Amino acid sequence: MTDAEGSRPLYGMFTDIPPHYDLINHLITWGMDKKWRKKAAQTCLSFRPRQILDLCCGTGDMAIEIAGLADYPVEIRGLDYSQPMLDIATAKAATSQDKNIIFVSGEAGKLPFPDEFFDCVSISFAFRNLTYKNPLAVRHLAEIIRVLKKGGHCVIAESSQPTNGLIRACYHFYMRQYAGRIGGWLSGNKAAYRYLGESAAGFYSPVELSKLLVKSGFQKTDYHPLFWGAAGIYSATK
Ligand SMILES: C[S@@+](CC[C@H](N)C(=O)[O-])C[C@H]1O[C@@H](n2cnc3c(N)ncnc32)[C@H](O)[C@@H]1O
């Protein structure tokens, strides 16, 4: 059975790459991923949420960013299905000041939380994994809606599609040729970073992604492009 057909699409990839994950991210985005997460964390906190889920938290940077920026009490859960990612996240949070984060092992398609528990769900650079050619996409979106309170928000930082055709072509070339290759070379997992290049190039435009969110049950969506639209921050209200 291939990853895409399995009940845990991409799982093997995300248990293999964690040791190199942060470094490769910074190299591929020229360090901008840190700024983009910070911007997403600020967007999340602008809604003044108390209970926050950082879905697909990976090595924990987004959860730690939110905890560090919050100037009022928050409770943050970071969830991921890759134990190696969670181990790195836990070690980072232990050395930072942020004691109000609980990292949880779990599946985005079956979240271990009650209905309407969270004020905000943040997802940084994982919405593409949850939805792009993913047979479980509908289930993932339904789970996000289920655990959000009415009026709660989902904040997504993700790769996007530049609207300018020339910039878009350059971006696709960059993702496939540079990002895909350097990631594969540094991590030793060529398939994982070929997937990154291909999925980023084929991913939804801002209009398509906003439509997907509305179709899934969100009422209102907003989009803020980053770096000429190579990435973007979406917020959606339940
Ligand atoms: C590209 S990484 C993003 C990590 C982190 N949010 C960041 O900003 O760097 C995607 C993460 O999503 C996790 N993931 C993918 N599919 C998942 C699923 N169905 N359930 C739980 N975690 C999942 C992977 O293990 C990985 O840590």
Is the CA virtual torsion 141, 43, 74, 76 positive or negative?
positive
Instruction: Express each pLDDT in 7-30 by its tens digit.
Output: 565 787 788 777 788 998 899 999
pLDDT exceeds cutoff 50 at 223: yes
Strand bridging mode 118-124 / 51-55: parallel
CATH of domain 3-162+203-237: 3.40.50.150
Say if CB 170 and CB 98 are below 8 A apart. no
Quote the Cα angle for 67-105-124, to 5°: 50
- How far apart are the C-alpha atoms of 24 and 21, rounded to whole Å? 5
29 backbone dihedrals φ, ψ, rounded to 5°: -100, 10
Query: What percent of the chain has a predicted confidence (pLDDT) above 70?
Result: 95
Which residue of 80, 92, 103 sits with most ligand 1 atoms within 8 Å of its CB, as the best mutation to test the pocket? 80
For the CA of 21, the closest atom of ligand 1 is 9
Domain range summary for the chain, segments of one domain joined by +: 3-162+203-237
> Is any atom of ligand 1 closer than 6 Å to the C-beta of 157?
no
pLDDT exceeds cutoff 90 at 107: yes
Ligand 1, atom 4, lies closest to the CA of 58
- Mean pLDDT in the chain? 91
Name every residue whose Cβ is closer than 8 Å to that of residue 161 and which is 6 or more positions away in sequence.
Answer: 168, 171, 203, 204, 205, 206, 229
The rounded Å distance from CA 126 to ligand 1 centre is 5
> Is any atom of ligand 1 closer than 6 Å to the C-beta of 80?
yes
